[in-house]
Amino acid sequence: MSERFFSYGTLQQTEVQQASFGRLLKGAPDALLGWRQEMVEITDPDVLAKSGKRHHPIMVPGAADDRVPGMVFEVTAEELAAADRYEVADYRRVAATLVSGLTAWVYVKA
């Protein structure tokens, strides 16, 4: 059984996908309404090495018409667990309904 997750940040990067999942993910553009992006400083050396970026986007609740664009990916349960390991403690995974109507896991501010 496959899982879906929505990425609006570094999990869209090919180098992060290769390092985290051992392959490039197939995805489709989508968006999430009612959320907005902020930035969070990353200090985890493994995540910094994979992404090459000290500041990553993080989603926080926003106004009803706020919109965060990104990509929805289909992954295995094992790959979803790898994504959980990649995301630092600033994030938590929640289920959300995307603009497309698909339900996907998304990482938001903890």
The domain limits of the chain are 3-109
Instruction: Provide CATH code, domain 3-109.
Output: 3.10.490.10
- For the stretch 38-70, pLDDT in tens is 999 999 999 999 999 999 999 999 999 999 999
Chain-centroid distance, C-alpha 93: 9
Residues ≥6 apart with Cβ < 8 Å to 22: none
pLDDT digits (tens, 9 = 90+) for 1-42: 799 999 999 999 999 999 999 999 999 999 999 999 999 999
